[in-house]
Amino acid sequence: MKKKDIVDLIKAHYSNNDNEFRAISNRIASEFSAMGDTELAAYITAQMTSVDTIVPQSVKYDTKYLTEVKLDNSSLPLPPAIAEDLKGIINAIHHRVGIGRFLFEGAPGTGKTESAKQIARLLNRVLLAVDFNKVIDSKLGQTAKNIASVFSEINHMPNLSRVIILFDEIDSLALDRLDDRDVREMGRATSSVLKELDNVNPEAVIIATTNLYGRLDRAFRRRFDAVINFDRYTRKDLIDAAETILNEDLSKFPEAGRDVKLFRKILQTSEEIPNPGELKNIIKVSLAFSDPQNPYDYLGRFYKDLHDTQTLELTELRSEGFTIREISILTDIPKSTVSRELQG
């Protein structure tokens, strides 16, 4: 960002030149995007939303079937390809180009729900999740009626342009109607969802997530403007994500030591690296249950959990390429003892 942009921005503000102010702001956002800071660029773009769409503080969005989701500023490590797709979604929603229905598909723990939260936060929108426990009913035909009520709440919602609707794990409503394993009642539910999506208020922004994309009704898939695949993590992406999660969690455990090189080495020796959602839990538990007197105890716990073992064998660790110093840290055994045991 150039000094001239700052000066021009201030001048536009004090001269009440709204068009110039927006033009400069968008130019600054583009510059940050080109430098790779897409989150800041998206945030600047989101702030350019018209003043008349700001949500009054008195508006309450919780309804019978919709519940407001709490948003936070926690980091969301995503592969570049997925991050670019989310940036496209943010731009599409902000510019109101008639694209407002998105389906996030992928394995559990890949960041689908968290991405919906981040999109809402960056766009300064309220995120409302559909409560399927209230929607799905054992009574014949009642689920379809409840679905109609959900969309009625959406269509008549005040300040709909400041809201994002989340259908988390929508496969519970939209499994393939031709699937023999599916009950007839859920087939009616799927048909009801299709009908309501066709008639939903065009201002509504809807994000749905699914772990069972292959079993979703094909007609249902076609109702979405874009399908984002979250199963695009390489091993490097997962290791980088784990490091980001660790760095964030270490700030909450000041007594814990920091050895990122060893942490990454533990991940590299694992045959299979879990998705970020599971990694987040493993790292948090390793830190929470570690010995406060041993700053690196969490690394040994992390290794055990990741490799699904109860013990740390010195010869096994050595064969995996760990140095004597690293083995000493993981096992909490003095280096001299580790060296002597391995030689013996």
For the chain, the structural domain boundaries read: 1-35, 50-229, 235-343
Q: Give this prediction's pTM.
A: 0.77
- The answer on pLDDT for 78 being more than 60 is yes
| 144-187 residue pLDDT tens | 899 999 999 999 888 888 999 999 998 877 654 444 444 555 66
Q: Which residues contact 278 (CB under 8 A, 6 or more apart)?
A: 109
- The answer on pLDDT for 45 being more than 80 is no
DSSP result, 44-102: HHHHTS-GGGSPPTT-----SSEEEPPP--------HHHHHHHHHHHHHHHHT-S--EE
State how far the Cα of 192 lies from the Cα of 93, in Å rounded to an integer: 25
| 329-344 residue pLDDT tens | 999 999 999 999 999 7
Backbone angles phi, psi at 35, to 5 degrees: -80, -5
Residue 86: CB atoms within 10 Å: 23
Backbone angles phi, psi at 101, to 5 degrees: -125, 120
Domain 50-229: CATH superfamily is P-loop containing nucleotide triphosphate hydrolases (3.40.50.300)
Tokens 């490097």 identify what position? 236
- The answer on pLDDT for 320 being more than 50 is yes
Q: What is the DSSP letter of 200?
A: S
Mean of pLDDT values over 66-92: 91
Confidence class of residue 35 from pLDDT cuts 50, 70 and 90? confident
pLDDT at 60: 65
pLDDT at 76: 82
Tokens representing residue 249 in the block: 């969690």
Decide the pairing of beta strands 66-68 and 226-229. Answer: unpaired
Are the C-beta atoms of 78 and 143 separated by less than 8 Å? no
- The answer on pLDDT for 209 being more than 90 is yes
Are the C-beta atoms of 228 and 85 separated by less than 8 Å? yes
pLDDT at 47: 65
The CA–CA distances, whole Å, from 319 to 4, 183, 208, 340, 342 equal: 59, 53, 45, 16, 11
Cα–Cα nearest to 238, from 271, 277, 273:
273
| 95-129 residue pLDDT tens | 888 899 999 999 999 999 999 999 999 999 999 99
pLDDT at 186: 60
Helix (H) or strand (E) holding 37: none
pLDDT at 128: 96
Backbone angles phi, psi at 190, to 5 degrees: -60, -45
DSSP result, 90-139: HHHHHHT-S--EEEEE-STTSSHHHHHHHHHHHTT-EEEEE-HHHH--SS
Q: What is the 3-state secondary structure (H, E, C) of 217-264?
A: CHHHHHCCCEEEECCCCCHHHHHHHHHHHHHHHHCCCCCCCCCHHHHH
pLDDT at 16: 62
- The answer on pLDDT for 276 being more than 70 is yes
Tokens representing residue 274 in the block: 């879990």
